Structure formats: C-alpha cells, structure tokens
Structure 1
Amino acid sequence: HDVSATGSTYFVEPMSAVNANNALRELELKEKKEIERILAELSAEAAGYRSAIDLDYQLLVQLDVIFAKARLSYQMRAGEPIMNEKGRVELRKARHPLIDPKTVVPISLRLGTDFDSMIITGPNTGGKTVTLKTIGLLTLMAECGLHIPAGDGSTLSTFEAILADIGDEQSIAQSLSTFSSHMRTIVDVVAQCDDRTLVLFDELGAGTDPAEGAALATAIIEFCRKMGSRVVATTHYAELKLYAMRTKGVINASCEFDVETLRPTYRLLIGIPGKSNAFAISRKLGLAEEILKEADSLVDKSDKDFEDVLSQLESQRQQMEAARVEAERLRQETAKIKQQSEQYQAQLQKEKEKAMESARKEAQSIIEEARAAANLASEELKAMKKQLQDQADTTGFNQRQAELRRNLNEAEDKLRAVQPKKERPKPSRGILVGDTVELLKLGTKASVIGINKDGSLQLQAGILKMTAAPEEVYLLENENPYKEKGGHPKHSGREMKLSAMPTEIDLRGMDAIEAICVLDRYLDEAMRANLPQVRIIHGKGTGTLRAAVQQDLRKNKYIKSFRLGVYGEGEDGVTIAEFR
C-alpha cells in the first residue's frame, strides 16, 4: 500500500480494509454535503428576517451597554450629575474613579460661577495632578452618559472639547525636552480653545527659567480666559499666586500638606494659595541647619514675606477649621439633647393623657352603673304602684327619683370639670345687656338679659333663667346669641331658677354630652309636672345630636315611645317623646 521514507518499512493494507475505508470516506463526504445543504437552507430562510435580526442585535448591544453602565455605577457608588451648557462645574466629594475607594480622599470644587479660572499650588505628590484628572475624567464620563463618583447635587457642563496638557512627553529620539514637550501641546491647546472648551494645564511654564516661565504661564492663562475657556492650572510659581489674588475671575486653590508627617492630606482648599514647603520638608528629612539658613538668606525678602503671609493664612485657616468642627459637634449634641427633651416631653404628655382618659372612663363607668341602678329602682317602684289597690299619692316616689337623677347629673358635671382649663385673655370691656357669656363652673353659654343694682347678672340659657356674679362668668366678645339664624340664642339648660315648665326644649348649639345632661334634667322636671309628652328640638344638621337624643330616650325608663316630628311640628329637626 505504501513504503516509509527510508524504504525499510512497507505498509500493507488488506483489500477488504481498503474497500471499507473508501466507503467510510464516501460517507463522511456525504455527511459534509448534507450539513452544508441544511445550513444553506437555514440561511436562506433566515435571510427573510434580516432586518428584524439586525434590529434585535442593535437593541441587545444597547441593553448590554446600559447594564454595563449600571454595574459600573453600582461598583463606584456613583450618582447622576446635574448637567448644564453654561460652563458651570460644581463637584461635591468627587473621587477619582481609578483610585481605590478605600484610600481616595474626596475633593469639592466649583468653577464657572464667581470665577472662571483656578490656580492650584502646593508641594509635589500633594494631589494637584489628580485633581486635574478628576475634573477632566468626570466631565468626559458625564458626557458619555455615565454616572460619576461624586456626591448628590454635583453639577457638570458639556464642553465641545477638553484640552489637557498633563504629564511629561520628553523624547530623546525626537529631541524634545520637558519644556519643549509641554509647549508643543500648549500650542495646539491655544489654537483650539474657545468659550466651549475646558482647559487643563499641569505644571504650566515648568522646565525653563522661572521668571520667563511664570510670565509665559500668566500670558497663556489670560489668553485662554479672553477666549472664554474654563481654565484649571497647577504650578509652583509665586507669580501665578499673586496673579490669582489680583485678578478678578481667577482664584487660588491649594492641596493641603502636613509638614509634621511629611504627608499630603489630598484635601483641596479653595481660596487659599499653597506653599511648596521645601525648607520644612528638607529640615524634617535631616538636611543640615547651616545649609537651610544659608538658603533662607538667599531668598528674596519679598518672596519671604509672601511665604510668611501664606503661613499665617494657613495657621488661621486651621484654627477656623478646628473651631468649625467643634461648633458642628456642639450643634449636633445640642440637637440630640433637644430631640431627647422633646421625646421626653411627648412621653410625659402621653402618660398624662392616658391617666386622664383612664380616670374619665372609670368615672363614666361608675355613673353609667349608678344610672342603670336608678332606672332599675324606678322600674321596681312602678311595679309596686301598679300592685297597690288604693290611690296613694305617688309624688314622693317621683321626687325621690328626680333627686337621684340630680345627684347623678352633679357627679357628671364634676367629671367634666376635671378637663384642663385653657388660659384666655382678659375681656377688653365690661359686660353689657345682650352679651353672651360663659359660665365658668358649668362650661356653658348664656345671654345677659339684665344687670341688677348690686352688679349681679341676670342670665338666660335657653328656657332657664339664673343669676350669677360677674366673676363667675367670662365675656365672649365675638358672639351675640341674637345674630344667629332664627334669632335663637345658644342654650345650656343649667337650672338655677325655674320660671315655668315648658312643653319643649331646644338643644341646638350644644355638643352631645352637654345636650344629654340638659335633656335628662328636663325630662325629670317634665315627669314631675305630669306632662303627657314633650317636644325636643335638636335640629337637622349632620344627625349626630339627633342620634344621641334618641339613644338616650331608648335608655330612659319613663319614656313610653318617641318619634320624629311631622309636617308642622318641625319634621326631622325635632323628636316627640311620650311619657308612660
């Protein structure tokens, strides 16, 4: 069948195996052709749905992007910024998304409000460049529809371009120094900047003569400002610090540095220029004091005075910050104490109300039990009267029953007197005939119908007349009982002197508790006067007073029946009650 390359080995294949292998090969070719045919048919069938499949693909890609944004936002604990097109930026507790959230120090800054440019100064490794990158990166994230790792209420603007010169692109192969590499980028930035751009400069003017570099940096920033750009730049030049202090619309900022520990705090301080702290850091690291004194003597006096002013400002700022923290701590403690006091007062008030409610319910229960006992005794007395064959005088029984009900009503009045009294202002004038007054002991209203020579007042409360001293009443200056519709004065039904036994009683203007108290007394007197029936005026209104009256009549053992009035009697506004 075959031979090896060396010719030392011969391969022999029986004829039966050759035929079998050929058959297997033919079957494999047929299988491949069948697979191709099936795939071709499926492709041809799917071709009719090409547009729908393409649309589904695009939708799935969009959904995948949305879910990816959501997962990223959740991982970064990010939130949606407030967007504007006016170049206004305000970041609150913003974090660089690529720094570990456990170690990153949030920064807060604003731009485009009362100033359009910011000069950030401070020592190396203090966080100046990270601040630049945070501003640029968060702006790009927001423009891409991503949430940003910043606090609620953070505001960002949309820009046509974000122009940045960050990092050192010096190259030996291209003969580019540090200054040349920066200037090559700055040339492109200056050519493109306008009122729709955000410009970020890192170490602007570095890598050349300090005097020339500072002058060039100032001119570049001023040019970008005139073009309307928002500018953020970092530098070590004192000239730029003075430029920011003297120029309207430009503000100083600094990255805080702890000289004691030789470590930056990475906090951004708005409005305060920073120090390089070269001498302090060198002294902390052990540089000879003699060298430091020599270096200090070589510093220009104006520069030294400026650094002293910065040191004083920083010291005052730290004192104010400590005072602010202490004031905030005291405010929180005061608020906590106030909250605890309010909760304690509320708890005391609840306990007081709970005790009063419990006492009122207990007293009311006692009164209801006594009233039930009186009604039961009355039933027994009536049953005894019916059994009597002679015509004995029953007036004594009625008087006894009326006296018992009066005692119950007095107990109920004492219960109502337990309610807390409200402080009211003194009346601005004296009491005149026609005024409405409130009886202090009874808590009900009455009209003044006359004034006696001794100064006492003649009062009328509904169908009842009484006499009271001026100190026993309170003048209701804003109420006149005769101004009400129909000319009906407000009634209380409290009895002092009974002039006559009328066949009707007017309960309008009373609450349910007062009305029932007045009604029970009136029914006692009507029964003693042997009236066959009485007319109770309660008005239509919401029906609350009518329901209370009829509920009381059902419990009264002296009432045989009662009904609502018909046409000519007052209809639903009155109830006619018939005695047994």
Structure 2
Amino acid sequence: MQQRVMRVLEFDKVTEQLLDHVSSSLGRDRVKNLIPSTSFEEVVRMQAETDEAATILRIKGNVPLGGIFDIRQHIKRSVIGGMLSPQELTQVASTIHASRMIRKFIEDIAEEEITIPILVEYADRIIVLADLEEAIRMAIDDNGEVLDSASETLRSLRTQLRTRESRVREKLESMIRSSNAQKMLSDAIITIRNDRFVIPVKQEYRAHYGGIIHDQSSSGQTLFIEPQAIVQLNNELQSIRVKEQLEIERILILLSGKVGESQFELETIVEVLGDIDFMFTKARYGARIKGSKPEINNEGRIHLVKARHPLIPIEEVVPNDIVLGKEYSTIVITGPNTGGKTVTLKTVGLCTLMAQAGLQVPALDGSEMAVFGAVFADIGDEQSIEQSLSTFSSHMVNIVDILEHVDFESLVLFDELGAGTDPQEGAALAISILDEVYKRGARVIATTHYPELKAYGYNREGVINASVEFDVDTLSPTYKLLIGVPGRSNAFEISKRLGLREKVIETARSYVSANSNEVETMIAALEESKRQAEREREEAQDFLKQSEKLHKDLQKEIMEYYEKKDSLQEKAKEKAAKIVEQAKEEAEEIIRELRKLRMEKHAEVKEHELIDAKKRLEEAAPKIDITKKQPNMVQKKQSLKPGDEVKVITFDQKGHLIEKVSDNEWQVQIGILKMKVNEKDLEFIKSQKVVETKPMATVKGKDFHVNLELDLRGERFEDALLRVEKYIDDALLAGYPRVSVIHGKGTGALRQGVQEYLRNHRSVKKIRFGEAGEGGSGVTVVEFK
C-alpha cells in the first residue's frame, strides 16, 4: 500500500485511535507498524483473530494483560553475560507471571467449550517459567530491592550492618544527650554524610569532638563531624557495605545468567504476548466504533451495510449502504459540492484498508469486503507550490501514476475527476480515464460535478450512477447516498428558497436546453421513486418481522396450551382413579367389618348379599384409562382437497386445508395459525360448502395479524392513549386473550394513564404488571373477558 494513499485516506488517524486501547509497549509497537496486508489468507487470519478477541471481551468483559514489559533488550544483555538491574529482573518476572495468567485464562475459557482455536494455539506456545519467576521473586521485591532472603551470605551481612549501625547510633546519641551537647551542637540530631554517621557541631567547638569533618553548612557556622570515637565503627560499617554490594552483584549476575539460559522461551513469550495484546487492542477498537467482522473475499466484491466513516462521531455520521463489484464495477457519484461525496469515497477506502489490516469495519453485520492488491486514491487538492503545479496538474500527476500501476486487483478512488480545467475538456478527460480504468478490470468509485457524466452510467455496462441526497427545503445535504440515481442541479430551487425573484429564475430556465430540463425532471422523479421504494421496503421488512414474531409466539402458545391441557387431563384422571381406588378400599373394609359382625353377632347377613353389594360397588366405579391417549394414526383412505374441514388428530383441533405442499403433507389453517401437517394425522370432517360470494366490506377479524406487544416508550401522553385505544380494538378483533403494553418505568405518568384507561375499558378483564421475565413494572399485561 502506498504511504501517500494511507495518509490521504487518514489510516494514520485510525492507528492513533488504536493506541488508546493497547495494554503494553509490545502492543504499541504492533500498532505503530500496522500496514494493511494484500494476502487473502493473511487477512482472513487477522479478521479471525480480532473476532475471537471480540468474542472473549463480549463474554468475559476483560482480559488479564497487565504487567507485560518489552524485555527483549534485557534478554540480549543477559545472553552476552551482562548483569541486569533489580528493576529489569523484576520486569522479567512480571512478564513471566503475565504469560502464566493469560495462558490459564485461555485454558479456562476453552474448557467452557467456547471456540477460540487461535488463542488456544497462542496459549500452547507459552512455556511456563515458574522456577525462574520464583527465583527472581525470592531475591527481589516489587520495588526492585534485593531481599535478605536472596542468599544466606547477604542475610548475615545485613544482620551485621544492623548491629554495627545500632552501636554507632547508641554512641552518637549518648554524645548529643550530654550536658554540653546543647551548647556545642547546632542541632541534637544524627545525620549521614558520605555514607558515614555524623553530628552537626558549631564551628568554635570542632576541636572538642576530634575526628573527621565531612561537610559544612552554607554559612560555615556548622560542621558535620564524624567524632573520633566512632571512626573505627564507621570503618567497619563501610567494609560490610562493600561486601554487601559485592554479594548483591553476585546474586544479580546469577539471576541474569538464568534469564540468558531461557532466551528462547522468553523471546517466544514476548512474541506471543505482543500478538495477544494486539488482538485485543483491535477488538476493543472495534467495540468503540461499533464495528463488525466483514466477510472477506478475493473477487473484488464490496457490500457495506449501513457503513459509517470511523473518524466522524457516531451521533453525527449518516450511515449508507454501498455495493460494488457485483452487478457493476464502477460507481459515478454526481451532484453539487458539500453533499458528502468525498466522505463516501473515504469511507469505502478507509474501510478497505481497515479490513485488510485485520480491523473490524464500522458497518452492520453481513458486510463484505474484498482484498485488493492495491488501493489508489486521488482525493483533495494536492497542489504543489514547490513544483509550481496547478490543481489540475497536481491531479494529473497522481492519475498518470495510477494508470501506470492499476490492474484488475485494484480499487481506485477519484475525487472530482477532471476538475480544475475547461468543463468540456475536463468531462471528456474524465470519461476517457474512467474507460481506461474500467478496461483494466479495476473497481472504481469516482465523484464529479460534470453533468456529461450522468449519461456515462446509462451508456456503459457495469457502470452505475449515484448521488448524494439534497434537501431543498432545508437547503442542506442529507448525506444519504442514492445508488442508481444521478445527481441533479438544485441551483434554481435553492435560489428560489433564498428569495431570488421568479422572473429571474424563469429567464434562467429558458437558457437551459429542453433536454437538460427533461433530464433534471427525470432525475427528480427517480429520487422520489427511490425514496418511496426505500420507505415501502422498510415498512415491508418491519411487517415481515412482526408477522414472523407473531407466528412464532402463537405457535409457542398453542403448543404450550395443548401440553398444559394434556397434563391437566392426565392429572385429573390420576386423581379420579385414586379417589375411586380409595372408595373401593373403604368398601372392602366395610364388607370385612360386616363379615366380622356376622361371625361374632350371628347377624342375618347372607354371603351372596355381600358379594352382590361388592359387585355393585365395582360397577359403580368409572373405567378410567390413565395412559396417555395416542392418536389413531391408521386412517381410512381419504380424498382430501383444499377447503375441506379436517381434524388435526395430534392437536385435537379442527381446521381447514389450504394446499397440499408435498405427497404426504398439507398446509392447514387452525384459527389464525398456519402449519404443515402429515396427511396421516388428518381426519376428514366435511367438504367446503360452495356458496355464492357477494361483494362485502373488508373487516378485521381473527385472521387480522396484530403484534402481541404495543411499545409506547418515547410517546407523548396523548398520542400514547390514542395508540392504546386503537391497539385494544385491534387485539379484540384478532381474538387475543392477552396482550402486553410496554410503557417503561420513567416518571410513572404514562404508566398510570395507560392503566387508568385499561381499568375502565369494558372488555378488559384484569391488568397486572409483567413478571421479572416479562419486563417488570415497565410492562402492563392485559387480559380480556
């Protein structure tokens, strides 16, 4: 990729934003050296890496990437026998610890059966150096101080140091507490000069203490003296300190040698941690711009769904659908300046560079990007004062360079092609340049304000016109890209809105040829038709989504109903059977007691009478089959046809046949629900009666599709009540037993008004707040009578 193109498309600003999301200097280096790849396999791999990292962030929220340092220079010095400082060794230990944590983190996620093959591959490359980490931690603390536990020798030396220091301090403290000290000392303190303990003595009393003068105050009135009495003790202290330093150096050299012995493992850890940090940097940036993973192809196809320029704030940018490389390979965007044509060019170019760098693109899911061998861009005024080139000449220099290198694997972006010279010649040059690039097989997007290029898209196969919508009412562009509709001049309409007299405008119109007027009128009609088609398409999609949701909801509810019905029937049968069984047991008990009574009291009760009584009790018990009723799948030969009334045996419901969808399946209408049913599960009831049809008004009935939910959030109070009134009527006509009204929590005013209206409605049986899974107090569930 040319550096000039990356600069013109502002890829460097994207990398600057990426730097806000790195966790270590290793990731920072990866970002600074980021260049879009031209290898299809490499781009696919990089996109998969970013997608895996995005998946982890979505599930876990964060990744343990703290404590990572770039220790490559430390490793090199240790390999050649250099001694690392305590701070450098601490960084090595910290990096080893970070590698262990990220490896364990990835292994734990993999055990949860989350598919992350790339991260698992990285984790497998990390070699655990727990022994080296522990050796460094035992010798050096987090602040870079060598610990007493680093060696027995060091522990002994430091014990001696503390003992000697204690004796020196005791000696000096006895001096500064003496009766003469207040007179002879500037201050009763013990301090250190040149690593030796001293006391501040007034100039005139220096001979009293003897010893060595190490320093004096700025005024010269105070001397910092090491009294003769502690010179020997200080000498001993200094000797022990030298031994301590030598022991520390020995420990550091030993640890540095161990680092050098693990050169390969440590360099692998650094490389892997850098790659992982870079993966999650890209994923965090993708979340920041609300990006998505594009499908990657090497066939020159671009399909961006609601694409945004990543450097424009989300709340300000206008998303656009951009398609290139399928039915057409060239888009010519015409129309006035300041309409957003250049932003469209940069959006496509920058998204291409981002995709080929492994970054997610600021567009919705389902977007598709191609891997191009080269991206060329001639955008903006690149006038060169040093070369004494005009705007036109500057553009021509770029275009000549593009034509020398462009091929079928290129994406070419021309901004204001042919501008800066005579309009007629400029338009001719623009057409010729587009023809040349088109013949090379490149994918091209060009912007121009020349009206001659409006016909270009109609006269050549594989080329399509486009424009950026302009709102004449507000005198401002909407930045909405209209593919298939060329741009039109709005000069007359704008002038009229700004107050130019109608007479002047009409005179101007007379100077424009009839053909031009017809073309402008045609373009205006095309714009309106496209807007209308877009509105209708969106409405149709919304209706389709609502219908699909309604169908799924109803199908789920009817299945739940029949399951619950069967369950209740089974429970009732089982309960009845238990009651009868208890009655029979009680009757047996009564008979046993009667027999006992007859035997004991010689009552006149005949045996056959007892048997008859028992038989009558048994016959009185209902014969209940507690096994689940299975549908009779064997049906007699039926001759079914559309319109027949049938019984769906599996659901025990009546319905009507709509059409036969296969050799053994019918589509059946059961109420407002349509479903496919096997023919053997159908029982013929009767044929449809042929009646004379009469014209009649269309009314809403049980086949009228109404959503099971009404969302009022964001509505004004009066508008919301009007919508509730209409919705309740529609739901009643559709035959719904229950619906939900979503009013949100907010201040409670809308909720109170809606519930007050529903309580007073004649067809409402009862209302209640939604359960936890239904939306809680933000939803009112309405049940009808």
Identify whether the pair has TM-score above 0.5, normalized to the shorter chain. yes
Q: Which residue of 2 aligns with 1:564?
A: none
Q: Which residue of 2 aligns with 1:195?
A: 408
Q: Does 1:87 align with 2:281?
A: no
Q: Does 1:266 align with 2:479?
A: yes
CA distance in 2, matches of 1:212, 1:231: 21
Alpha-carbon offset, residue 232 of structure 1: 0.8
Q: Which residue of 1 aligns with 2:324?
A: 111
Which of 514, 521, 529 is 1:308 aligned to?
Answer: 521
Q: Tell me the secondary structure at the aligned position of residue 213 of structure 1.
A: helix
Residues 125 and 17 (structure 1 numbering): CA distance in 2 closer, same or farther, change over 3 Å?
A: farther
Q: Tell me the secondary structure at the aligned position of residue 314 of structure 2.
A: coil
Please tell me the residue identity of whatever aligns with 1:412: K
Q: For this pair of structures, how many residues does the alignment match?
A: 413
Alpha-carbon offset, residue 117 of structure 1: 1.0
Which of 158, 161, 166 is 2:371 aligned to?
Answer: 158
Alpha-carbon offset, residue 87 of structure 1: 0.9
Please tell me the residue identity of whatever aligns with 1:228: G
Q: Deviation per CA, 1:13-41, whole angstroms, max 9, x where unpaired?
A: x99999636999x99xx99x979977888
Q: Which residue of 1 aligns with 2:765?
A: none
Q: Which residue of 1 aligns with 2:276?
A: 63
Q: Which residue of 2 aligns with 1:294?
A: 507
Q: Which residue of 2 aligns with 1:210?
A: 423
Q: Deviation per CA, 1:354-382, whole angstroms, max 9, x where unpaired?
A: 76556545533432232122221232244
Residues 44 and 402 (structure 1 numbering): CA distance in 2 closer, same or farther, change over 3 Å?
A: closer
Q: Which residue of 1 aligns with 2:623?
A: 412
Which of 368, 386, 401 is 2:581 aligned to?
Answer: 368
Residues 161 and 283 (structure 1 numbering): CA distance in 2 closer, same or farther, change over 3 Å?
A: same
Does the 8 Å contact 2:597/2:603 carry over to 1? no
Residues 170 and 283 (structure 1 numbering): CA distance in 2 closer, same or farther, change over 3 Å?
A: farther
Q: Which residue of 1 aligns with 2:214?
A: 20
Q: Tell me the secondary structure at the aligned position of residue 231 of structure 1.
A: strand
Q: Deviation per CA, 1:257-316, whole angstroms, max 9, x where unpaired?
A: 111111222121222212232222232233343433332222222222111111111222
Which of 255, 271, 278 is 2:468 aligned to?
Answer: 255
Does the 8 Å contact 2:332/2:464 carry over to 1? yes
Q: Which residue of 1 aligns with 2:359?
A: 146
Q: Tell me the secondary structure at the aligned position of residue 404 of structure 1.
A: helix
Alpha-carbon offset, residue 168 of structure 1: 0.8
Q: Does 1:242 align with 2:455?
A: yes
Question: Following superposition of structure 1 onto structure 2, how do residues 464-543 of structure 1 map, counting pairs within 5 Å?
Answer: none
Residues 181 and 55 (structure 1 numbering): CA distance in 2 closer, same or farther, change over 3 Å?
A: same
Q: Tell me the secondary structure at the aligned position of residue 461 of structure 2.
A: coil
Please tell me the residue identity of whatever aligns with 1:20: H
CA distance in 1, matches of 2:247, 2:504: 87
CA distance in 2, matches of 1:391, 1:342: 66
Please tell me the residue identity of whatever aligns with 2:281: A
Please tell me the residue identity of whatever aligns with 2:325: G
Please tell me the residue identity of whatever aligns with 1:277: N
Alpha-carbon offset, residue 407 of structure 1: 1.8
Please tell me the residue identity of whatever aligns with 1:246: N
Q: Tell me the secondary structure at the aligned position of residue 267 of structure 1.
A: strand
Q: Tell me the secondary structure at the aligned position of residue 479 of structure 2.
A: strand
CA distance in 2, matches of 1:46, 1:425: 83
CA distance in 1, matches of 2:583, 2:567: 24
Q: Which residue of 2 aligns with 1:182?
A: 395
Alpha-carbon offset, residue 423 of structure 1: 12
Alpha-carbon offset, residue 164 of structure 1: 0.6
Does the 8 Å contact 2:333/2:465 carry over to 1? yes
Residues 281 and 36 (structure 1 numbering): CA distance in 2 closer, same or farther, change over 3 Å?
A: farther
Question: Following superposition of structure 1 onto structure 2, how do residues 339-350 of structure 1 map, counting pairs within 5 Å?
Answer: none
Worse overlay, 309-318 or 180-189: 309-318
Alpha-carbon offset, residue 85 of structure 1: 0.8
CA distance in 2, matches of 1:376, 1:345: 46
Does the 8 Å contact 1:166/1:200 carry over to 2? yes
Alpha-carbon offset, residue 202 of structure 1: 0.7
Q: Tell me the secondary structure at the aligned position of residue 412 of structure 1.
A: coil
Q: Deviation per CA, 1:211-243, whole angstroms, max 9, x where unpaired?
A: 221221111111111111111111122222211
Residues 367 and 427 (structure 1 numbering): CA distance in 2 closer, same or farther, change over 3 Å?
A: farther
Does the 8 Å contact 1:166/1:201 carry over to 2? yes
Residues 317 and 133 (structure 1 numbering): CA distance in 2 closer, same or farther, change over 3 Å?
A: same
Which of 310, 333, 342 is 1:120 aligned to?
Answer: 333
Report the RMSD for the aligned CA atoms in angstroms.
Answer: 4.2
Q: Which residue of 1 aligns with 2:615?
A: 402
CA distance in 1, matches of 2:557, 2:605: 66
Residues 319 and 379 (structure 1 numbering): CA distance in 2 closer, same or farther, change over 3 Å?
A: same
Does the 8 Å contact 1:367/1:412 carry over to 2? no
Residues 384 and 288 (structure 1 numbering): CA distance in 2 closer, same or farther, change over 3 Å?
A: same
Higher relative contact order (Cα pairs below 8 Å, separated by 6+ residues): 2
Alpha-carbon offset, residue 133 of structure 1: 0.6
TM-score, length basis structure 1: 0.61
Q: Deviation per CA, 1:57-83, whole angstroms, max 9, x where unpaired?
A: 333332332232122112112121111
Residues 154 and 357 (structure 1 numbering): CA distance in 2 closer, same or farther, change over 3 Å?
A: same
Q: Tell me the secondary structure at the aligned position of residue 118 of structure 1.
A: strand
Structure 2 gap segments, 5+ residues each: 1-205, 217-224, 227-234, 640-682, 684-785
Does the 8 Å contact 1:124/1:276 carry over to 2? no
Does the 8 Å contact 2:598/2:604 carry over to 1? no
Q: Which residue of 1 aligns with 2:342?
A: 129
Residues 182 and 404 (structure 1 numbering): CA distance in 2 closer, same or farther, change over 3 Å?
A: same
TM-score, length basis structure 2: 0.46
Alpha-carbon offset, residue 336 of structure 1: 6.5
Q: Tell me the secondary structure at the aligned position of residue 251 of structure 1.
A: strand
Residues 199 and 314 (structure 1 numbering): CA distance in 2 closer, same or farther, change over 3 Å?
A: same
Worse overlay, 284-293 or 98-107: 284-293
Residues 59 and 385 (structure 1 numbering): CA distance in 2 closer, same or farther, change over 3 Å?
A: same
Q: Tell me the secondary structure at the aligned position of residue 101 of structure 1.
A: coil
Alpha-carbon offset, residue 412 of structure 1: 2.9
Q: Report which of the two structures shows the higher radius of gyration computed on alpha carbons.
A: 1
Residues 178 and 18 (structure 1 numbering): CA distance in 2 closer, same or farther, change over 3 Å?
A: farther
Q: Tell me the secondary structure at the aligned position of residue 20 of structure 1.
A: strand
Alpha-carbon offset, residue 100 of structure 1: 0.1
Structure 1 gap segments, 5+ residues each: 1-13, 430-475, 477-580
